[in-house]
């Protein structure tokens, strides 16, 4: 672990793990970001990574999506999980004094994700609606028309 140039160890992390802490003067907040290899480049079924990434905050072995949401709201924390082209990601923002809780929640979301079937169904419907709504955006429709002209 490095903090402003100092190094040390965090208990419970593997020796090859890397944690960087950067102190910035200003608001007393902590912004934790965890990136896991994966993402859409590694998926077998199109959309699988997106749904899996979003599902990380939908339930764990100890808490369901509603409890996760209510507890994060009560602590003034923001939790966002998603997937990109090459990563699955967890982002948690909270008050600096709650940094240990933020770290604990990130570990729980990653290591104990339960991927509940009802939330998976809901997220699949949500992603489908998002894709369908693209047809309502003039710039997207124009882009599609351009690509159709270009590639036939």
DSSP code string of 13-62: S-TT---EE---SSS-EEEEEEEEE-SGGG-SSTTHHHHHHHHTTSBBSS
The answer, yes or no, to whether residue 83 has pLDDT greater than 60, is yes
Q: pLDDT tens digit string along 62-76?
A: 999 999 999 999 999
Q: pLDDT tens digit string along 111-145?
A: 999 999 999 999 999 999 999 999 999 999 999 99
- The pLDDT of residue 15: 55
Q: How confident is the model at residue 13 (pLDDT cuts 50, 70, 90)?
A: low
- The pLDDT of residue 27: 85
């Amino acid at each position: 672990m490095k903090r402003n140039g100092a190094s040390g160890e965090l208990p419970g992390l593997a020796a090859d793990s890397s944690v960087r802490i950067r102190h910035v003067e200003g608001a007393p907040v902590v912004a934790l970001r965890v990136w896991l290899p994966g993402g859409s480049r590694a998926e077998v079924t199109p959309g699988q990574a997106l749904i899996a990434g979003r599902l990380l905050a939908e339930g764990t072995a100890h808490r369901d999506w509603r409890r996760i949401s209510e507890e994060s709201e009560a602590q003034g924390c923001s939790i966002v999980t998603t997937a990109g082209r090459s990563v699955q990601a967890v982002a948690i923002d909270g008050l600096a004094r709650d940094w240990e809780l933020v770290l604990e929640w990130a570990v729980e979301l990653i290591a104990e994700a339960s991927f509940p079937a009802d939330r998976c169904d809901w997220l699949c419907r949500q992603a489908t609606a998002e894709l369908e709504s693209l047809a309502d955006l003039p710039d997207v429709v124009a882009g599609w028309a351009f690509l159709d002209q270009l590639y036939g």
